[in-house]
Structure 1
Amino acid sequence: MKFKTLAKFLNKIENTPSRLEMTAVLADLFKQSQKDEIDKVCYLSLGRLAPKYEGIEFNLAEKMMVRIIARSTKFEEKEVLAAFKEIGDLGDVIKRFKKTKDDFNLSVSDVFEMLFKIAQDSGTGSQERKIKKMAELLEKLDSLSAKYIARIPVNRLRLGFSDMTVLDALSWMENQDKSLRPELERAFNVLADVGKIAFVFKTKGIKGIKKIKSEVGIPIRAALAERLKKPEEILEKMDGQCALEPKMDGFRCQIHFDRSKKFKLKDETNLSLFENKEKYFVRIFSRNLDNTTHMFPEIIKAVQKLKVDNAILDGEAIAFDPQTKKFLSFQETVQRKRKHGILEKAIEVPLKVFVFDILYLNNKPLLNMTFKQRRTLLEKILNKSKGEEKAIILTRQIIVKKPNEFNQFFEKVVSEELEGLMAKKLDAVYQAGNRNFNWVKYKVGMQSDLADTIDCVVMGYYKGKGKRTNFGIGAFLVGIVDKNKFLTVSKIGIGLTDKQWREIHKRCQKLKTYKKPKEYQVNKNINPDVWCKPGLIVEIEADTITRSPIHTAKLALRFPRLKRFRDDKSLNETTKKNELERLLKS
């Protein structure tokens, strides 16, 4: 397929408001794609070059792209910048300035390989080489193709669909309906690479999809918990008994290990923890599928000692103070998620991972085993000792049948300054990528009117007055994701410390944009002074949820306040509108 053909499809999708029509256009695109390019078509259509867990980034900011567009179109940089401030979309900017008819008739694979090489370039002088190569690529494309390529390096392709829409379109390509979506989604949940799913489906059909199983090295989409307010309700949902585990306030870690493979540590990860850099294969993924392996050298070292051929473990990492023997706060724990200064921070803030599940063992996927069976296997692998000297620890667990037993254990973990409990159904399989009542979280404060905190996206901010003039921000607008649109739920201007005001302003500055993002739906009466691109996720506490004629979600948070920043969550993991509706009714 020629890239200009793909660009025409992308343009049609961008201008199609109907979800059903968009799916049909995507299905047509996939039908016309060759078997050896459908994975590349999927990635490019989603604005990336690989599955999310590969972490391939261009590291080109919008200012760099302005330079690139100026260089490729032979216009002055100040003219391009002025147009960008006016339009707010780099793709539309290059379409305006690109006057030449040059078209090298490049294929999708040609463009993909060029982009991949640009993204992979590193080391001394790489920034200038990237600018040069990117400008050369744009010169070889027609204006419509250049429009979409210019958006990809700054993560702004956003055509209004996600991996799940791709799965719908693959089903539609084959059956002209969504009847194959459940099986495609099952495959994607256990092997989170939509390009690979598309390739298998295109080459081997639904029979090939049914054979897809989890693999070490490719993340499994995490199982997620529902919320309930009372132990009685939880026990009823779980047929009269459940397993209880302490809920750690850290970040989710899915640990992949394979003794038959080797990998090399990055220099910054090498610490004095290792005799040499070559170790058995380890990958650590966050809940939103980011590869965080090299941030956690002590986990890499600890996993090497497991007496297994290969395994996939599910757990929660939390910072630990070896002096006081106490766990640290989430804000202290999250300091470990970094690309630089890993050695110093690992010594300053050591981690422990509390493993609560095993998903794969010795070449066998375990997702269809019951939780009770998986726990038995996990206990055989991990020592049950308190493990104060260990980095990987088996999560504590008790089985309860009565509300008073539930409450006693809850009071115990709260006295240990932990945030609550996870209740788990003993006979439940691991339902990857699903939020359901097989797992239920029960936290401090859930007995109040609002049963849980809300994860929101910061959409923009308002300039400060009085004392807050010094912070550069006086309030901020937050929203939730609903079918690839962002709907507002609250304007927050109270309850932050001076430090938090400075921090949120600093984070917003990195995401500010000159124009309201197309996917934002905001009542013009509450438009912020400065718009932010979607990317900053915050956890919000509130007293209640109410109906609202002002906010576009038609719901609002009453007395909202910032609890913390959620760098460990993706946009797709923010609270959904149907969850807010359920919280309103609970």
Structure 2
Amino acid sequence: MAEDIKMPDADAVKEQKIMYGDDKELDSKYPNRPSNLHKSLPFHTLFTELFNPLLDSVKKNRPQAARRKAGPSGQSHLSPHEARRNIIERYIAKWRKEVGNDFYPAMRLIIPEKDRDRAMYGLKEKAIAKVLIKVLKISKDSDDAKMMVNWKLPGQLNKASSSTAGDFAGRCFEVLSKRAERTNPSDLSIGTVNSNLDELSRVSGEDQQLNIFKWFYRRMNPEELTWLIRIILRQMKIGATERTIFDIWHPDAETLFNVSSNLRRVCWELYDPKLRLGGEDTGITLMQCFQPQLAAFQNKVGSFEKMVVKLKTTPEDDSFWIEEKLDGERMQLHMIENPDVPGGKLFGFWSRKAKDYAYLYGKHFEGVESGALTRFIKDAFHPNVRNIILDGEMITWDMETDHIVGFGTLKTAALSEKENFTNSNTGQRPLFRVFDCLYFNDTLLTPYTLRDRRKALQGAVKGVPRRLEIHPFIEAHSYTEIEPELRKVVADASEGLVLKNPRSMYRLNDRNDDWVKVKPEYMSEFGESLDCVIVGGYFGSGHRGGAHSSFLCGLLVDKKAQPGDPEYQKCFSFFKVGGGFSRDDYAAVRGRTEGKWTDWNPKHPPSIIELGGHTENRQHERPDQWIHPSDSVVVECKAATVESSDKFRINLTLRFPRFKQLRTDKKWDQALSISEFMELKDNVEREHDEKEKEFKIEQSRRKKARTTKKALVVAGNETVATPYAGPKSQLFDGLSFFIMTDQLHPAKHSKAQLEALVKANGGKIVQRDSTDKSLVIVADKRLVKVSSIEKRDTMNIVKPIWIHDCIQQAEADVGALPFVLPFEPNRHMFYLLGADQLDFEANVDDNGDSYSRDIADVDELRGILTSMPSKYETVFEKELFLGQLEDHGESLANLKNCMFSQLKVGFSSAMSGDKNWDLRARLAMNYIRFGGGVVLDEDESGATHFVVPDGENRGVRNGAVSGLARIVGVGWIEKCWEEGTRVDEERFQWG
């Protein structure tokens, strides 16, 4: 009724006008948008009533205190999650009561990283520090100025500055609190702060930025300014996620944001919690950016079979799709008919983070706004296409090499192509690879299956070569088809693969098992790892603040140089590594290098360390401090592969490097040199070229195991002369052997001894691999050449024990015609092709007992009996892989509540004699649950890890542990919890 309508007061009208102006477009676009009745709350209420209470609730509710306790009234206290929700609900309720229903001004300050309406400020930490130095009128050479500019470095003068190392806003608070214009919070409203932040985002000159910061400084106390800086940097960390805030604001808020990426729309269309979105409002719309579906992470090694099961394959349809994972920027393309624009079509481009790229890639087919792409794709669509939304990846394509290049070159290539008005076939250009169609001729396609959406894509898009292309995929039916494709893309320096379920619908802003990333194992072609010397250090932020969190590693220029030579101790930068270190690892490096570090002076860089760029003005990946190689330590690191990069001095670097261990047994001059690394690299490339010639032939071999004479590998050292013992039998007649390593298990035999044994039984020895079908390749340890053959994935490699088993069985079958034994997967194969897995498994029974060979000894018999299920068990899975599985990838983040994400952990029920085992196991289970993992029941299968008392491997049953589970001591769980991150498992593995 009219008398119930409340009119906004004068202050509210004035504030609304300052914030939104007389924007008629807003009125037409949001005719029912809410208006506040009163002026917005003071800015300080955001941190006094919301941010600080949320952070306090996080501190109070640590895992050990998180359980509910009964209060005096008998009621239990709120859980941490409920307590945080109450804080947010109270603030929103206060806003509705004292201000009105337009919560948008507050929301854009609470979650500024989701505000797409305000442009980026173009200000990072050092730029803000320089502005504050001028605002405070302090010398740039003063201790406070240096403390802000070098905010990652620990403080040299007091403990307070050391505690804020890595926290830029905290450093600013220390400096500002000494020179505060006011001590009490100001009465500045949230609306006024927003208006000035809008102005800050519009200006670009340093003088204009300085004036705005001066305005804030005169009116705000140090704590207000500190939170203002966090808002500008969009680094809030207030103890609550945007999902929680959205859910409290309105039940449909997250859904609307996923389809629109528009915070203003979420606040203005959903101001009434009682009004719900209709079905037509929950789908993506043309020219409105949405939050795309994402691929789930897959970090477990050797889990291809499980991944395929998660893709929901069925006996009726066991297919899944394999796509190459592209190294570019996720992009969505919208196109609609518009007769008022040149060419009659209007385009929109948005990144995954909702950044508008139409200015760069083009809005029209013709004219000045045709950008770097749209003017070249007039023929990319079929004539019947009126409107469409495409999901894909924008990559950089080099026309001269006809190959994709790294993501870092994309914007440069696009800007260059935007200015290039000739359709040149040289240089680098943006290429849009499309893998999904979500909207087509007024029809929303997200509810349809991926297979149906792909059909629509092929019916709508013709493509333009090297401008806009449909991304290819392979339809597969077995997990064994994944690894060969992964090896192909890794050989082409690609990121990896994405597996997709063709029966799945499109799910906005969601990571699920319908799309799964598959990234390569850490490299083995250069051996197990590379040993390099540390030459630089970088200070960290957050909980790593005040200490080195990552290191610059280099290659020695000349190992043979003597003291006094210019090349003595000289190193070229090679890679930067920060992943894989535990707290003890950092302490070990710090203990061995303390007092030997020197701050890096850009004007006078050390002559013994050369960086990428190699000039005073171009010092790529410049460290905060440097150290003489002779004072430093050698670290063992592994990586995904080697790639080109002008950021490092040798123009090469490691992709995804990861620390493995500190090599205390090596001196600095025993680290890898440039010449040694290049020799390794040349060998790998030569072997890769040979693999390309052999690949097609080797892939066609599919013979039965009992009659096969496939190429097999035994790994070894360099060629040596072998004594010939004369023929003892013709057991290996017609077979050639390439023996690559000594035998290590179950007994040690030299390469020469193995070659003599083969010759004595009619075999032929060769010193290189070939496509000869009679070739047997033998290895027992993973050397460089062995890893190279594995990478080809065209030949099996057998262990030396197979040679002994063949001879032993021939001697036992006296009078019978001698024959070579068929291969057994676990006992005989050092490396087994996926295509041969089932054939070779047919040579043994379910318990691993061979059909063709007598049991060799008591230990083998004991192993078979141990692996057999007891009579009370009804479920039996494959026997455990007893060898250690190499660690793969990093945890999701260095956060305790997600560091065990994706892990399913079983616990041994066996007693080890340790009286504290039960207590340690229960605590470890709590750590797993809090870290996002799943603790399996005693009889539940599917474990990724199985925890046993430290140093023991008892209580492990096949029914409880999958064949790919890792057996680790309980100490691994405890160490991860202590460090706050997933540490390397190898030192804690058993079995």
TM-score of the superposed pair, with normalisation by structure 1: 0.67
What corresponds to 1:220 in structure 2? 291
Q: Does 1:188 align with 2:257?
A: yes
Please say which of residues 89-98 and 339-348 is displaced more in the overlay: 339-348
Counterpart for residue 224 of structure 2 = 145
Q: How does 1:321-332 map to 2 (within 5 A)?
A: 321-324=398-401, 326-329=402-405, 331=406
AA aligned opposite 1:251: G
Which letter maps to 1:322?
M
SS for the counterpart of 1:440 is: strand
| Residues 353-364 of structure 1 mapped to structure 2, 5 A cutoff | 353-364=432-443
The one-letter amino acid paired with 1:219 is F
CA shift, 1:23, in A, is: 3.7
Percent of pairs identical after alignment?
15
> What secondary structure sits across from 2:331 in the alignment?
strand
Report what 1:550 is aligned to.
none
What is the CA distance between 1:128 and its match in structure 2? 0.7
Alpha-carbon distance between aligned partners in 2 of 1:447 and 1:206, rounded to the nearest angstrom:
55
- CA change 1:168–1:393 in 2 (3 A) is same
Rounded Cα–Cα distance in structure 2 between residues aligned with 1:62 and 1:414: 37
Q: CA deviation at 1:394?
A: 1.4
| 1:285 aligned onto 2:347 | no
Q: What corresponds to 2:187 in structure 1?
A: 105
Alpha-carbon separation, structure 2, partners of 1:543 and 1:411:
23
Alpha carbons 1:37, 1:108 under 8 Å: kept:
no
What pairs up with 1:13-162 in 2 under 5 angstroms? 13-17=54-58, 18=61, 20=81, 21-33=83-95, 34=99, 37-48=102-113, 50-51=115-116, 56-69=119-132, 72=135, 78=142, 80-81=144-145, 84=148, 86=161, 87=164, 88=168, 89=170, 90-100=172-182, 105-122=187-204, 126-162=205-241
| Count of residues in correspondence between the two structures | 492
Deviation sequence 1:206-252 (CA, Å, 0-9, x none): 61387433233323233214548466545443224224243143224
SS of the residue 2:182 aligns to: coil
> Corresponding residue for 2:53?
12
Q: Check 1:98–1:47 CA distance in 2 against 1; reply closer, same or farther (3 A cut).
A: farther
Give the letter aligned to residue 257 of structure 1.
H
1:466–1:284 Cα change, 3 Å: closer
State the Cα distance separating 1:361 from its structure 2 match: 2.9
Which of these residues, 461, 482, 488, is aligned with residue 550 of structure 2? 461
Aligned residue for 2:508, secondary structure, equals coil
1:258-337 paired onto structure 2 within 5 Å: 258-259=335-336, 280-286=346-352, 288-296=353-361, 297-302=371-376, 306=381, 308-324=385-401, 326-329=402-405, 331=406, 333-337=407-411
SS of structure 1 residue aligned to 2:454 = helix
Deviation readout 1:477-504 (Å, 9 max, x if unpaired): 3379xxxxxx9898799xxx98789999
- Flag the 1:214–1:14 CA change in 2: closer, same or farther, 3 A: same
Q: Which has the higher helix share?
A: 1
Aligned 8 A contact 1:247 1:421 in 2 = yes
Is the Cα–Cα contact under 8 Å of residues 410 and 421 in structure 1 kept in the other structure?
yes
Q: Which position in structure 2 is the counterpart of 1:203? A: 272
2:332 and 2:377 map into 1 onto residues whose CA distance is 8
Give how far 1:45 is off. 1.8
Pair 1:429 & 2:495 matched: no
What SS class does the counterpart of residue 220 from structure 2 fall into? coil
Q: Aligned-pair distance for 1:162?
A: 3.4
Kindly state the Cα deviation for residue 15 of structure 1 after the two structures are TM-superposed.
3.6
Per the alignment, do residues 340 and 408 of structure 1 end up closer, same or farther by CA in structure 2, a change over 3 Å counting? closer
Q: Is the 8 A contact 2:296 2:512 kept in 1?
A: yes
Distance 2:291 2:350 in 1: 11
**TM-aligned CA deviation for residue 362 of structure 1:** 3.6
Instruction: State the AA in 2 paired with 1:111.
Output: V
1:373 Cα shift? 1.7
Distance in 1, matches of 2:323 and 2:114, equals 39
Cα distance in 2 between the residues matched to 1:498 and 1:359: 50
Deviation of the 1:380 alpha carbon:
1.0
Give the match's secondary structure for 1:130. Answer: helix
SS at match of 2:270: helix
1:540 aligns with 2:656: yes
Aligned partners of 2:118 and 2:198 also within 8 Å: no
User: Are residues 2 and 134 of structure 1, via their aligned partners in 2, closer, same or farther at CA, if it must alter by over 3 Å?
Assistant: same
**Contact preservation (8 Å) 2:395, 2:410:** no
| Separation (CA, whole Å) in 1 of partners of 2:42 and 2:444 | 40
Partner of residue 43, structure 2: 3
Tell whether the 8 Å contact from 2:612 to 2:621 is kept in structure 1 after alignment. Answer: no
CA distance in 2, matches of 1:83, 1:412: 49
Cα distance change, pair 433–488 in 1 and its aligned pair in 2 (3 A):
farther
Letter in structure 1 aligned against 2:259: V
Instruction: Give the alignment's Cα RMSD to 1 decimal.
Output: 5.0
Structure showing greater Rg: 2
Pair 1:339–1:203, CA change in 2 (3 A):
farther
Deviations 1:29-72 (A, max 9, x none): 22333556422312212345823xx6722223434434544555
Answer yes or no: is the 8 Å Cα contact 1:24–1:169 preserved in 2. no
Q: What does residue range 166-565 of structure 1 map to in structure 2 within 5 Å?
A: 166-170=245-249, 180=251, 184-194=253-263, 196-203=265-272, 205=274, 207-208=276-277, 211-215=281-285, 216-227=287-298, 229=302, 232-236=305-309, 237-239=312-314, 240-259=317-336, 280-286=346-352, 288-296=353-361, 297-302=371-376, 306=381, 308-324=385-401, 326-329=402-405, 331=406, 333-338=407-412, 342-343=416-417, 348-383=427-462, 387-388=464-465, 390-402=466-478, 421-442=497-518, 444-445=520-521, 460-462=549-551, 476-478=577-579, 506-507=620-621, 540=656
Quote the offset at 1:116 in angstroms.
0.8
Q: Which amino acid aligns with 2:44?
A: K
Q: Cα offset for 1:136?
A: 0.9
User: Do the aligned partners of 1:243 and 1:397 also contact (CA within 8 Å) in 2?
Assistant: no
Distance 1:490 1:300 in 2: 52
Shift in alpha-carbon separation, 1:362–1:131, aligned structure 2, 3 A: farther
Q: TM-score, normalised by structure 2?
A: 0.42
Q: Which segment is superposed worse, 147-156 or 498-507?
A: 498-507
Amino acid at match of 2:397: F
- Does the CA contact (< 8 Å) of 2:259 and 2:288 recur in 1? no
Supply the distance in 1 between the matched residues of 2:359 and 2:326 (Cα, whole angstroms): 21
SS at match of 2:207: helix
Q: Secondary structure at the match of 1:2?
A: coil
